[in-house]
Amino acid sequence: MRIQIIQDSKGEATGVYIPINEWEKLKKQYKELEEMEFEETSKDQILVELKQAVHELKFIEQNKLKARPVKELLDDL
C-alpha cells in the first residue's frame, strides 16, 4: 500500500492520503470503515439546514417550539 502523510506548514502530520483503490479494499475488509467515511455536505444542503435552524429559532422565541438542551444539540452534530 502506498500512503502519503499530509503535513501542515510546521511539518507536523495532519492526515493521511490513501489511494482510492486501497481504500475500497480496506472498506471491504473492515466494514466499520464505511460508516466512518465522510461525505462532504453541499452548499445547498448547508443553506437549507441554516434556514431551518433560523426558522426554528423564531418559533422558540415565539414560544411555539420548546428549545432543546445544548447536550442534545451537540449530540446531533
Q: Are residues 8 and 34 in the same domain?
A: yes
Q: Are residues 35 and 48 in the same domain?
A: no
Instruction: Find residue 7's DSSP bridge partners.
Output: 13
Structural domain including 61 reads: 40-77
Q: Are residues 34 and 64 in the same domain?
A: no
Q: pTM for this one? A: 0.42
What confidence score (pLDDT) does residue 17 get? 93
Q: Are residues 35 and 45 in the same domain?
A: no
Residue-wise pLDDT for 7-18, tens only, equals 999 999 999 999
What confidence score (pLDDT) does residue 61 get? 93
What confidence score (pLDDT) does residue 36 get? 78
What's the structural domain count of the chain?
2
Q: In the numeric block, which cell numbers belong to residue 69?
A: 438542551
Is residue 34 a contact partner of residue 27, using CB atoms and an 8 Å limit? yes
Residue-wise pLDDT for 28-65, tens only, equals 999 888 877 777 778 888 899 899 989 999 999 999 98
Q: Are residues 46 and 62 in the same domain?
A: yes
Q: Are residues 31 and 10 in the same domain?
A: yes
What confidence score (pLDDT) does residue 74 get? 78
